[in-house]
Amino acid sequence: MERLLAVSSSPHIHAAQDTRAVMGWVLIALAPAGAAGVYFLGLRALAVMAVCVVFSVLAEYVWQKGMKQQSTSGDLSAAVTGLLLAYNLPPTIPFWMAAVGSLFAIIVVKQFFGGIGFNIVNPALAGRAMMLTSWPVAMTTWTIDGVSGATPLALIKGGSAELPALCDVFIGNIGGCIGETSAIALLIGFAILLAKKIVSWHIPVVYVATVAALSAVLGRPAGPVYEIFCGGLMLGAIFMATDYTTSPMTRKGQVLFALGCGLLTTLIRTFGGYPEGVSYSILIMNLTVPLIDKLLRPRVFGEVKKHG
């Protein structure tokens, strides 16, 4: 009988998609933004993506083999982490820095905490934060068509009145990180994730709407529409704030989480030293997820309401 039955605790729910399938669809959804990054920023962007993905997958494989653990490098989660890290880097970043950032994201942020499903913050964003602290010049050097220039958010922070046209910001014909410049490509990816039910709309929509509303309230000079299409807001809201492991489980929790991300992003953009605030906002809110889940934990089915 023991050979025929696998006894485990409830609930016994069969999922139509396993981790590899989910991560595969995430990679497909990320493809339009990567293609736009290569088109507008050049083939070096593709090389940075390859370095990050290869070193992320190898880091996970070697670490788990060294620790005598079952290898999960084939579930594509490490590849997603590497690609998301690359999307948060400028195409001019030295390859060795991209490799170190990938190793940090996988080994320190993911594997030190137990691997997939146990990390407390988003590995790709934590890798970017480490790199921005360690190599700020390399991480904030932008080029397009071989000419160095500032990102739209940096221009806004500097008080410049000459900003790229909104259409250029929407399609991605601006300087910036590899995967964040093209809003339309990211929205295509979002549509794919929604169609496959990989993510729900709650976190991305509430996050972006919060930034738009607060940007209008605080009188940001470029206007709320410009604010949501430039920088890493779309990339962060769609692909990183929605990470299963580091976002709340309940719908109410997800809305609260997204509100916090939007508030922090706008405050950092407006009053902080950095022109962008998406990465740090999501990382900070990642740390509040256990508290949010505890506060908004649904009542157990059949539980008797307490009186007195």
- In a domain, residue 36? The reply is yes
* Domain at 289, CATH number: 1.10.3430
Q: Assess if residue 5 is contained within a domain.
A: no
Domain extent, residue 165, equals 19-295
Q: Examine residue 210 and state whether it is found in any structural domain, yes or no.
A: yes
- Average pLDDT estimate for 269-284: 89
ω into 248 cis (within 30 of 0): no
Alpha helical stretches, state H, 42-159: 43-66, 77-87, 95-103, 123-134, 136-139, 152-157
Angle, CA 288 vertex, CA 60 and CA 89 arms, to 5°:
45
169 in a domain, yes or no? yes
The answer as to whether 306 is a domain residue is no
Share of the chain above pLDDT 70, in %: 89
Whether pLDDT at 156 is above 90? no
Are residues 52 and 23 in contact, defined by beta-carbon separation less than 8 angstroms? no
Q: Structurally, how many domains does the chain consist of?
A: 1
What pLDDT, on a 0 to 100 scale, did the predictor assign at position 202? Answer: 94
For 87-103, the pLDDT digits (tens) are 999 999 999 999 999 99
Structure token digits, residue 228: 């949501």
What secondary structure does DSSP assign to 228-255, as a single string?
A: HHSTTHHHIIIIITT-STTS-SSHHHHH
Q: Name 50's Cβ contacts closer than 8 Å, sequence gap at least 6.
A: none
Direct distance between the N- and C-terminal alpha carbons of the chain, in angstroms, rounded to an integer: 49
pLDDT at 270 over 70: yes
In whole angstroms, what is the distance from residue 126 CA to residue 141 CA? Answer: 19
pLDDT at 167: 87
CA pair distance 104, 8, nearest whole angstrom: 35
Distance CA 195, CA 183 (A): 18
pLDDT higher than threshold 60 for residue 1: no
Domain contains 105: yes
Query: How much is the average pLDDT of 272-278?
Result: 85
Residue 236, pLDDT > 70, answer yes
* pLDDT average, residue stretch 180-194: 94
